[in-house]
Amino acid sequence: MQRKHWISAFATTAGLAIGLLATTAFAQTTVRIAWYSDGNEGEVVSDLLKRFEAQNQDIKVVLDQVPYKAITENLPVQLASGQGPDIARVVDLGGVARYALDMRPYLKDASYWEKNFGPFLPWMRPEGDSSAITGFMTQLTVTGPFVNKTLFEQAGIAMPGAKATWEEWGKAVKAVAEKVQVPFPLAMDRSGHRFFSVAVSEGAKVFDAKGEPAVIDDGFKRAAKLVYDWHNDGVMKKELWGSVSGTAYRGANDEFKNAQVVMYQSGSWQISQFDKTVGDAFDWVAVPSPCGPGGCSGMPGGAGLVAIKTTKHPEAVAKVMDYLASEPVLSEFYARSLFVPGHLGIAAKGLDYKNASPQAKAALKVFSDQVAQLSPVAYRLQGYVNNRVIFNAVISRLGQAISGETTLDEAYKRIESDVAQQIAERKK
């Protein structure tokens, strides 16, 4: 009996110990990342995070892959209510900045972040903060046009040169479209950010001498009139911008990949997608940003991966971010995603985009070269904490003018009042 009792007690104790070990083994911290993709970057980061989990078995990373619209429209509402993920990939860097976690106390080496992400850190800081490290750029993007070169060749029309104006490109793509019977001579993302890639080149200054928004000036009006006239004379088609309203985004990826668009004003983030979806169906090329009185500038931008301050696990969040931002991991991410690096060290060394087609490599070079052409106004607007207010007001009111709901002059007045009112509300 005594022996049986001892065995029973041992079994119970052993069972408790095994149970305790099992509990300890599975006492993982969960870090949730809200992530959207333009191309294959979701697959790439998912693969990289599996390696992180293998090396850090106490942390489980859940990658919630969501549509772009969920990031731009739903996420801000979640964050304002104190909800949301631990980390998010966002484009409205200034708008999300107030919800961002300063990771500086938790990072392995803050100086590494300052050295390699320095110029971009202010884009992700709350207003008035000059030291927080809240995230890094998953890519540096540059706006610019993609052109269906095959359509130009079929039409027997020469493509405009490197310093051609927006007006010259408008005439050329309309001539091509008429000759080869395609529906869209010029398509442009229905996005305030993309509109300003035209406006800055047309001479828009965006800010006054005190640094306050002064959106409507002669350069802005030139760009707005250009886009407005393009919609009225057939260079741009109302069914693209007119298919949505308000501040809603509308791209033309599908139309371009189906060879229905001669020229598509979008940006470098599309390279991976077009490399995959267009393939060798036709020759597509990136071309330098068209010019205007203000220069030949696109808009810089990109998506930042930002830590969220409501997280209950700041140390684990910082560990995940340190891993993803490390040079070898980030180099692989940029190379496999076909992104322009947003990391100074990697950019200086250069990347071997070994999986890219010749077309994609050529496009990456065009966009990388365009960085030197970016206007200080473009950088200033991209770094402005309330830039999303400006972008949304412009696209909403300009869209109304294009659809015939209002005049351009009335749109200008409404843009000014929208910007002033919404910035005042944000500051309450």
CA of residue 330 relative to chain centroid, distance: 17
Residues 130 and 244 in one domain: no
118: pLDDT strictly greater than 80: yes
Residues 423-427, mean pLDDT to the nearest whole number: 88
Residues 321 and 185 in one domain: no
- CA dist 125 and 93 (Å) reads 8
**Does residue 295 form part of some domain?**
yes
The whole domain housing 79 covers 10-140+301-356
Residues 40 and 72 in one domain: yes
Residues 233 and 165 in one domain: yes
**Does residue 1 form part of some domain?**
no
Q: How confident is the model at residue 18 (pLDDT cuts 50, 70, 90)?
A: very low
Residues 54 and 169 in one domain: no
- CA dist 276 and 292 (Å) reads 33
pLDDT single digits (tens) 270-316:
999 999 999 889 999 999 999 999 999 999 999 999 999 999 999 99
Residues 223 and 270 in one domain: yes
Bridge partner list, 142? 300
**Does residue 3 form part of some domain?**
no
* Mean pLDDT of all residues belonging to the chain: 92
Total structural domains within the chain: 2
Residues 134 and 208 in one domain: no
User: Do the beta carbons of residue 252 and residue 266 sit within 8 Å?
Assistant: yes
Residues 78 and 64 in one domain: yes
**Does residue 283 form part of some domain?**
yes
pLDDT single digits (tens) 231-243:
999 999 999 999 9
405: pLDDT strictly greater than 80: yes
Residue that is last in its domain, among 332, 356, 380: 356
Residue that is last in its domain, among 312, 328, 356: 356
pLDDT single digits (tens) 197-206:
999 999 999 9
- How would you classify the pairing of strands 261-267 and 300-301? unpaired
Residue that is last in its domain, among 321, 341, 356: 356
pLDDT given for residue 406 in this prediction: 96
pLDDT single digits (tens) 325-357:
999 999 999 999 999 999 999 988 988 898 899
Residues 205 and 181 in one domain: yes
Residues 328 and 382 in one domain: no
**Percentages of the chain per state (helix, strand, coil), in multiples of 5:** 55, 15, 30
**Does residue 58 form part of some domain?**
yes
- Tell me, what CATH number does 89's domain have? 3.40.190.10
**Does residue 376 form part of some domain?**
yes
**Does residue 212 form part of some domain?**
yes
Assigned token pair, 150: 């095959």
- CA dist 59 and 160 (Å) reads 53
Q: What is the pTM of this model?
A: 0.81
Residues 279 and 412 in one domain: yes
Angle at 92 between CA 263 and CA 122, to 5 degrees: 110
- How would you classify the pairing of strands 184-188 and 261-267? parallel
**Does residue 167 form part of some domain?**
yes
Residues 107 and 178 in one domain: no
